[in-house]
Amino acid sequence: MYVILATIATAAALFLLTMLSFELALLLAVSLIIGFLFQILYVLNTISYTIQFKKGEPEKDKVKQAYKQYMEEKRRRDQREE
């Protein structure tokens, strides 16, 4: 939905660019380009955060599994010794 809205807004802005004077058209075009660059940075930041967050979860599970396995082995050893 957001992509469709962005496409419509871009088409409207390009239509306005053809009707305005050169200076205003240039100002609007530069503003659009800067806006798109900031949007791209935001999306990349969100993707990076998501990847880092998902990367960290399995490591915690591995640590928990290793700890559980260690405790079970220790319990078995203790039972054998008794």
Spell out where 1-82 has E strands.
none
Identify which has the larger pLDDT, 25 or 58: 25
Average pLDDT, whole number, for the chain? 83
Q: Where residue 56 falls among pLDDT bands split at 50, 70, 90? A: low
pLDDT in tens, 33-55: 898 899 999 999 999 888 877 76
pTM (two decimals): 0.45
Residue 80 CA to residue 82 CA, distance in Å, equals: 5
Q: Cα 69 to chain center, whole Å? A: 34
The phi, psi pair for 21, rounded to 5°, reads -70, 165
* pLDDT per residue as tens digits for the range 4-24: 888 888 888 778 778 878 888
**Domain boundary assignment for the chain:** 2-81
In this predicted structure, what is the pLDDT of residue 69?
A: 92
